Amino acid sequence: MLWQRALTAVVGIPLLLVIICLGSWYLGAVVLLLSLLGLTEFFRLSTACGLRPNRWVGHLAGTLIIALTVIESVEFPDQGFLAEWALSDRLVLVFVLAVLALFVHQVLVVAEPVTVANVGATMLGVIYIPFLFSYLIRIRSLSLEPMWLPGAGWTVSSGACWLALVIAACWAEDTAAYMVGKALGRHKLCPKISPGKTIEGAVAALAVALAVALALGNWFGLSLRLGAILGITVGVAGQLGDLSKSILKRQAEVKDSGAVIPGHGGVLDRFDSLLFSAPLTFYLLRPFAT
Q: What is the pLDDT of residue 112?
A: 65
Check residue 7 and give its pLDDT: 60
Percent of the chain with pLDDT over 70: 84
Instruction: List CB contacts of 87: < 8 A, sequence separation 6 or more.
Output: 68, 69, 72
Torsion of CA 134, 135, 141, 147, to 10 degrees: -140
> Has residue 76 got a pLDDT over 60?
no
> Which band of pLDDT confidence, cut at 50, 70 and 90, is reported for residue 50?
confident
Per the DSSP assignment, residues forming a β-bridge with 146 are: 157
pLDDT of residue 154: 67
Average pLDDT over residues 232-244: 92
Residue 42's pLDDT band, with cuts at 50, 70 and 90, is very high
Mean pLDDT over residues 51-78, rounded?
Answer: 86
Tell me what pLDDT residue 25 has: 87
How far is the CA of 97 from the CAs of 31, 91, 92, 103, in angstroms? 22, 10, 9, 10
**How buried is 211 (Cβ within 10 angstroms: 0-12 exposed, 13-18 middle, 19+ buried)?**
middle
Give yes or no for residue 107 having a pLDDT over 80: no
Comparing 235 with 13, the larger pLDDT belongs to 235
Query: What is the pLDDT, as a whole number, of residue 11?
Result: 65
Per-residue pLDDT tens digits for 114-162: 578 888 999 999 999 999 999 999 999 887 777 656 666 667 788 888 9
Q: Are the CB atoms for 201 and 256 separated by under 8 Å?
A: no
